[in-house]
């Protein structure tokens, strides 16, 4: 929503919004001159010519009720977003995992190749002037959220589908409906890149490890960076990717497949990854104590698959350290649906802390994280996440603060306290 608000603001429109949570983004918007109300009230929308809402807004919300009563047009966020990006030649990225990273890769590479894209990102990135938004000209690069029906109506010129797993099913009529939406999006897009190894959807070109037009042959991790060898329709190539992880090599391969297939010079595309950094809360090293070998990493991973990839990456980068995960489950529906898988992947860590579920506007319906903790040997349940600020950090350990909720706030406070106490803060990482 903040990126869309900024876009309207920079188009010369008068923008205001309501958010009861004071955050970095709301403060940033206010600094730009966008009025932010800290509660939902009728008077907030009295002068509005249009009201944009998210699915989290209930039908008894006072602003929604007032707008309906006054006949003020009400539009859902995704429809408003489709209207914005539909004005430009567009490259979109969707899928279950890796959307923000792949979108930021795509944007970063294009910017390095002297393109001037608008960018809409579901995370913050240092390459973008406004964190999750960049004002451009005729081209738009955007992250397309698949969590709600409606994403299938977009019509990008180029589309990357990173992967498709059965997430957010509570928002769809059925599994078939979920997959049908992806198929419709493919039909609405002019050129599509899909993940061949899944064998779920056929694109104009496909990428993968075991099959596809573009294939990952080999990768060698060098600290935080990796050397990646790939197969392309123009032969084998090698390039340096300055971020870690098998999954990020695949994300990069998807970007390479799209851009080289759309006519961009392959070797220039590969070179354009040279300074890529990960978006916010994607394997971000927020603290390093080099004397005691203590590292704190923040990551947005919130599905079982994402946590598995995160733990494998941590093992690869820090192969001589203990790996400690501090996990805040996200959404009661997902936690209940994936409980068994969470139990399996969390065991990949040497030490496990689990907080209560971050509901994200969902009702609890009897779901609690304590149940899963009782079924994982050695796992520790943290009923009050603020207790984690007192965590006893052991030498030669990496602490992963993981989740899509507010676990990052705890990590940030812990890092600030450590910085004040030891002065060994280092913003290494991406």
What are 110-153's pLDDT values in tens digits? 999 999 999 999 999 999 999 999 999 999 999 999 999 999 99
* Separation between Cα atoms, residue 37 and residue 54, nearest integer Å: 16
Tally DSSP H helices, then E strands, for the chain.
13, 20
pLDDT at 360: 80
- Pairing between strand 225-232 and 235-241? antiparallel
Beta-carbon contacts of 390 under 8 Å, excluding residues fewer than 6 positions away, are none
Full-model pTM: 0.89
**Whats the size of the chain, residue-wise?**
430
Fold that domain 289-422 belongs to in CATH: 3.90.190
Portions of the chain given CATH number 3.40.1190.10 = 86-271
Measured from the Cβ of residue 41, the count of other Cβ atoms closer than 10 Å reads 13
- If one compares 90 and 22, the residue with the highest pLDDT of the two is 90
* Distance separating alpha carbons of residues 309 and 270, to the nearest angstrom: 24
φ/ψ of 345, rounded to 5, equals: -75, -35
Tell me where in the chain the CATH 3.40.50.720 domain(s) lie.
Answer: 2-77
- Residue 428 pLDDT: 42
CA angle 103–92–3, rounded 5-degree value: 65
d(CA 55, CA 69): 19
Give the mean model confidence (pLDDT) for residues 171-194.
97
Residue 430 is predicted with a pLDDT of 35
Q: Assign 423 a pLDDT band (cuts: 50, 70, 90).
A: low
**How is residue 198 annotated by DSSP?**
G
End-to-end CA separation in angstroms for the chain: 24
What residues contact 333, with CB distance under 8 A and at least 6 apart? 170, 362
The mean per-residue pLDDT over the stretch 72-85 comes to 97
Domain covering 86-271, topology? 3.40.1190
* For residue 347, pLDDT beyond 90: yes
As a whole number of angstroms, the distance between CA 122 and CA 95 comes to: 13
pLDDT band at 372 (very low <50, low <70, confident <90, very high): confident
pLDDT band of residue 427 (cuts 50, 70, 90) is: very low
Q: Is the pLDDT of residue 374 over 60?
A: yes
pLDDT above 70 covers a percentage of the chain that reads 98
**Separation CA 133–CA 124 (nearest Å):** 8
Every domain of the chain with CATH number 3.90.190.20 lies at 289-422
Torsion sign, CA atoms 422, 424, 425, 430: negative
Band of pLDDT at residue 205, cut at 50, 70 and 90: very high
Query: What is the architecture of the domain spanning 2-77?
Result: 3-Layer(aba) Sandwich (3.40)
∠ CA 20-26-32, rounded to 5°: 145
Q: What confidence category does residue 425 fall into, taking pLDDT thresholds of 50, 70 and 90?
A: very low
Beta bridge partners of 322: 397
Element (H, E) at 111: helix 99-112
């Amino acid at each position: 929503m903040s990126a869309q608000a900024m876009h309207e603001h920079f188009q010369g429109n008068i923008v205001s919004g309501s958010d009861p949570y004071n955050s970095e983004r709301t403060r940033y918007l206010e600094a730009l001159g966008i009025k932010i109300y800290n509660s939902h009230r009728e008077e907030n929308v009295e002068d509005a010519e249009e009201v944009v809402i998210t699915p989290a807004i209930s039908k008894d919300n006072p602003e929604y009720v007032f707008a309906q009563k006054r006949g003020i047009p009400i539009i859902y966020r995704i429809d408003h977003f489709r209207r914005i990006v539909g004005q430009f030649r567009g490259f979109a990225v969707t899928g279950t995992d890796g959307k923000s990273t792949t979108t930021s890769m795509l944007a970063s590479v294009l910017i390095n190749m002297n393109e001037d894209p608008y960018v809409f990102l579901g995370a913050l990135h240092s390459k973008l002037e406004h964190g999750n938004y960049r004002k451009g000209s005729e081209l738009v690069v955007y992250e397309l959220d698949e969590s709600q029906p409606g994403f299938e109506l977009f019509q990008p010129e180029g589309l990357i589908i990173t992967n498709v797993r059965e997430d957010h099913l509570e928002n769809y009529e059925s599994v078939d409906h979920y997959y049908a939406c992806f198929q419709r999006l493919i039909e609405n897009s002019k050129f599509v890149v899909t993940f061949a190894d899944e064998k779920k959807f056929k694109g104009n070109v496909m990428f993968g490890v075991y099959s596809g037009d573009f294939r990952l042959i080999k990768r060698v991790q060098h600290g935080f960076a990796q050397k990646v060898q790939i197969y392309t329709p123009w032969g084998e190539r090698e390039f340096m990717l300055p971020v870690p992880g098998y999954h990020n090599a695949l994300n990069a391969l998807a970007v390479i497949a799209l851009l080289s297939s759309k006519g961009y010079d392959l070797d220039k595309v590969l070179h354009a990854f040279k300074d890529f950094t990960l978006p916010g809360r994607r394997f971000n090293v927020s603290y390093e104590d080099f004397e005691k070998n203590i590292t704190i990493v923040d990551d947005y991973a919130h599905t079982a698959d994402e946590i598995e990839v995160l733990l494998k990456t941590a093992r690869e980068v820090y192969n001589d350290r203990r790996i400690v995960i501090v996990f805040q489950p996200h959404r009661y529906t997902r936690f209940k649906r994936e409980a068994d898988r969470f139990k399996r992947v969390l065991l990949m860590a040497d030490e496990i802390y689990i907080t209560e579920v971050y509901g994200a506007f969902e009702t609890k319906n009897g779901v609690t994280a304590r149940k899963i903790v009782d079924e994982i040997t050695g796992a520790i349940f943290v009923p009050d996440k603020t207790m984690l600020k007192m965590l006893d950090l052991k030498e030669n350990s990496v602490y992963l603060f993981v989740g899509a909720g507010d676990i990052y706030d705890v990590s940030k406070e812990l890092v600030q306290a450590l910085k004040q106490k030891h002065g060994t803060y280092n913003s290494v990482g991406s």
